[in-house]
Each structure stands twice: as structure tokens, then as C-alpha cells.
């Protein structure tokens, strides 16, 4: 059954409930963002209970994810079992869709053009469409490279003894781009290093199930760094707040400010560190954080969910 995005509760009472009573079950597609952000508080609480308490990953995902979290904690012995997780969006389709330039070579241009045509079939060549990589970067729309993520974390004070979990799909030109990040953080782990090929075989070809493994490891990290807006990090942000009573550190850097630092050839490392720590202080999302009426409950479960939870 198709429903309008951000529909009011009355829409569901008038249009969906009759079908539900008639058929006993309905499947709503697409599923994302079908209910308005601004609904009564008791409905917001129900949202949290549904998402964070009632819904569960399937047993194969839950079992392997639990083992991966245990392994990540054991491999983080230098930091008392605590680790940092990063949602790295540097897959080929993400880089292609951004229309940003990285090494700028012929090989990259051909690869990105082929990827755009394969996935979006002429969308980027429609009349009036202007591709401006420089403007995209200035506006913070370009995915951060693994090296940029590594420099950012090191400048924020995370040294080479930090255990780092990288959640991602297949990284674009991984051999070239992951090496600098691994050099900065030799204790870097991924789902491919925490799980055996045999354990991952059952999820091969199912990107959402593999993402569920990443999600579970990130959920239990001491610090979570998001590098690009999408459902994964935003939902994870709210889930971590709900799970830890608001006390879960999530860093959401302002990429427009970051670009000014990364692209400044004259900046010294001490100045870069100073700026990065300032960005970190202003972007850290720690503590409850009160949700405004039209903001998403999935980012900010306070006050609707956490206050009522504590009262119960």
C-alpha cells in the first residue's frame, strides 16, 4: 500500500486503518518517512518502543554482530575495550553521485562517468544540469576521503593506539585510499577483519544485511563519527542516545568548515589541530539534546522517549 510521505495520524486512521481491519495486515511501501515528525508525544514514545525495543535483527545477523562486537572489544585492549567507529561513505556510487573530483585523472573521470551512467542513466546529462566539482566541495557535498577522516581524527586527539572500526560498503579504489588511513590507525578493523569469509558468506550480495553488521558494531562504540548525512548515521545517532540514556558521543563535523582547512596549503599542523578541536567541540552531539517540534525523533528521542522511559 502506498502512502504519502510525512502523513498525519488522521491520514492513517482514515485511509490505512480500514484496510488493516479488512486484510489484517498491510505492507506500506516505500517505508521511510511515512509519518510526520510532529505528532503527539505518546505516538513518539510508541515510535521509540517500536524501533528500539520491538524490532530486532534476524538471528543470523544478531549472532554474528554480537560476536563481532565482542571481538572488537577484545582487540581494543590498549584502550580498555573502548573503540571509535566511523561511517565512511566513500563507495564508488557515492563518489560518482557527488560529482566531486579527487585525483582528477583520466581514469577516475572515466570510472565516475561510467558509474553515473550505469546507476542513473543520463540524469547528469539532462539539459540545464551543471556539474561544478569545486562548488560541491566548497558546499560540503563531497564525501570525505579516508585520509581526510584520518587527519581529522588525529587532530581531534585520537592517536595511533586508538582502535578504529570503519563501517562502509566497498570503498572506491580501496587499495589506494584506505592505505593512508590504516597507516594513521594501524588498529583499524572492518567487518571483513572481524568476521571470517565463511561467516560473511551467508550475507554476500545483501548490502542491507551487511550494513546491519556495521550498524551493530557502531552502536556499541565509545565515539561515533559520521562523515555524510544518510539514514544510517542519523538513525544510529538517536539509537545510541536512547540506548545510553543520552550519554553517547557522536561527532558530526561541518564539512564546509573542514574544506577550508584541508584546502589551505599554508596551514600548520598545530593550527589545524586547534581548528579541528574547535570544530569537534561545536559538532559533538553528547547529552540528551531536546528535540524541536519539527525535528526527527530518530535523531533526538528526548524528551518524548527518554523522559517517559525514566518516569515509567
Phi-psi region of 71 (alpha: psi -120 to 50; beta: other; left: phi over 0): alpha
**In the chain, domain spans:** 1-36, 41-90+143-311, 94-136
**Which CATH number is associated with domain 41-90+143-311?**
3.40.50.11350
Q: Which of 94, 69, 72, 66 is nearest to 188 (CA)?
A: 72
% the chain with pLDDT above 90: 62
DSSP annotation of 189 reads E
Q: Say which residue, 257 or 29, is predicted with more confidence.
A: 257
Q: What average pLDDT does the chain have?
A: 89
3-state helix, strand, coil in the chain (%, to 5): 55, 5, 40
Rounded to an integer, what distance in angstroms lies between the CA atom of residue 53 and that of residue 109? 46
- Burial class (CB within 10 angstroms; exposed 0-12, middle 13-18, buried 19+) of 13: exposed
DSSP annotation of 160 reads T
Rounded to an integer, what distance in angstroms lies between the CA atom of residue 253 and that of residue 227? 7
Binned at pLDDT 50, 70 and 90, residue 289 comes out as low
pTM, rounded to two decimals: 0.90
Q: pLDDT tens across 22-57, in order?
A: 999 999 887 778 888 888 888 888 988 988 899 999
SS3 210: helix
Position 288 scores a pLDDT of 54
Rounded to an integer, what distance in angstroms lies between the CA atom of residue 226 and that of residue 284? 11
Q: To the nearest 10°, report the CA torsion of 203, 229, 170, 80.
A: -80
- 123: its cell numbers: 540524469
- 202: its cell numbers: 551467508
Residue 285 in this model has a pLDDT that exceeds 70: no
DSSP annotation of 7 reads B
- Any residues with CB less than 8 A from the CB of 146 and at least 6 apart, and which? 88, 90, 166, 171, 177, 178, 180, 181
Q: pLDDT tens across 134-189, in order?
A: 999 999 999 999 999 999 999 999 999 999 999 999 999 999 999 999 999 999 99
Q: Mean of the pLDDT values across residues 285-296? A: 65
Binned at pLDDT 50, 70 and 90, residue 304 comes out as confident
Helices (H) and strands (E) in the chain, counts: 16, 6
- Helix 59-74 and helix 207-219, axial crossing angle in degrees, nearest 10: 40
Q: Which of 277, 287, 223 is nearest to 82 (CA)?
A: 223
Amino acid at each position: 500500500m502506498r502512502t504519502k510521505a510525512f502523513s498525519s495520524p488522521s491520514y492513517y486512521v482514515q485511509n490505512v486503518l480500514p484496510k488493516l481491519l479488512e486484510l489484517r495486515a498491510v505492507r506500506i511501501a516505500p517505508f521511510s518517512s511515512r509519518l510526520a515528525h510532529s505528532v503527539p508525544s505518546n505516538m513518539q514514545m510508541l515510535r521509540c518502543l517500536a524501533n528500539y525495543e520491538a524490532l530486532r535483527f534476524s538471528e543470523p545477523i544478531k549472532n554474528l554482530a554480537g560476536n563481532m562486537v565482542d571481538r572488537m572489544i577484545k582487540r581494543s585492549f590498549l584502550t580498555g575495550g573502548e573503540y571509535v567507529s566511523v561511517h565512511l561513505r566513500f563507495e564508488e556510487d557515492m563518489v560518482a553521485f557527488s560529482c566531486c573530483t579527487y585525483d582528477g585523472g583520466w581514469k577516475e573521470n572515466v570510472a565516475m562517468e561510467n558509474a553515473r551512467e550505469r546507476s542513473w542513466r543520463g540524469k547528469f546529462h539532462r539539459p540545464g544540469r551543471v556539474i561544478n566539482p569545486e562548488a560541491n566541495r566548497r558546499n560540503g557535498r563531497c564525501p570525505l576521503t579516508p585520509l581526510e577522516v584520518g587527519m581529522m581524527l588525529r587532530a581531534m586527539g585520537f592517536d595511533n593506539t586508538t582502535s578504529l572500526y570503519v563501517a562502509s560498503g566497498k570503498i572506491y579504489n580501496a587499495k589506494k585510499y584506505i592505505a593512508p588511513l590504516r597507516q594513521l590507525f594501524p588498529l583499524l578493523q572492518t567487518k571483513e577483519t572481524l568476521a571470517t569469509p565463511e561467516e560473511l558468506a551467508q550475507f554476500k550480495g545483501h548490502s542491507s544485511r551487511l550494513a546491519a553488521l556495521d550498524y551493530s558494531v557502531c552502536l556499541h562504540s565509545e565515539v561515533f563519527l559520521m562523515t555524510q548525512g544518510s539514514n544510517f548515521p542519523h538513525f544510529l545517532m538517536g539509537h545510541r542516545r536512547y540506548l545510553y540514556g543520552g550519554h553517547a558521543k557522536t561527532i558530526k563535523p561541518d564539512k564546509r568548515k573542514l574544506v577550508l582547512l584541508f584546502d589551505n596549503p599554508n596551514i600548520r599542523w598545530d593550527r589545524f589541530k586547534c581548528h579541528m578541536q574547535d570544530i569537534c567541540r561545536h559538532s559533538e552531539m553528547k547529552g540528551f539534546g531536546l528535540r524541536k517540534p519539527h525535528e526527527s525523533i530518530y535523531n533526538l528521542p528526548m524528551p518524548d522517549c527518554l523522559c517517559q522511559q525514566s518516569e515509567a
